Structure 1
Amino acid sequence: MIEILGFEIGMTWLGLAVLAIGAIVLGLVAPAMIGAVVVALVVDAVVRWGTGGSFTGHARPV
């Protein structure tokens, strides 16, 4: 058990290390995933606009 500020928390040093590593990995992976989603939306919008498609499901007149 680990004591922090006088409180015992039910976690070993190994558990705390695993949580810390998970937080670091999430901090690195989450921005990349958000970036990938943004790029996918931009590419989709450009392709729809370039091919005459529409976001409403109705093709715009050429």
Structure 2
Amino acid sequence: MAEKYFDKASKPSEVTMRRWLNDGKLPGRKIGGTWYVDEHAWLADGNELVLRVLEDQ
């Protein structure tokens, strides 16, 4: 996810991403020992229009 959405100069470290997930600042969940980011929720960030568009896909 970091490579997909962040510029090389601003890309957060893996440790930072895990901390954001653990703190609830980044939507996702841990399955086994691996964290997974909920990209749809992150992109929508509460925007009703974006949520509706993503649900229709």
Normalised TM-score (structure 1): 0.27
Give the strand-richer structure, 1 or 2.
Answer: 2
Instruction: Name the structure with the higher helix share.
Output: 1
Q: TM-score w.r.t. structure 2 length?
A: 0.29
Structure of larger gyration radius:
1
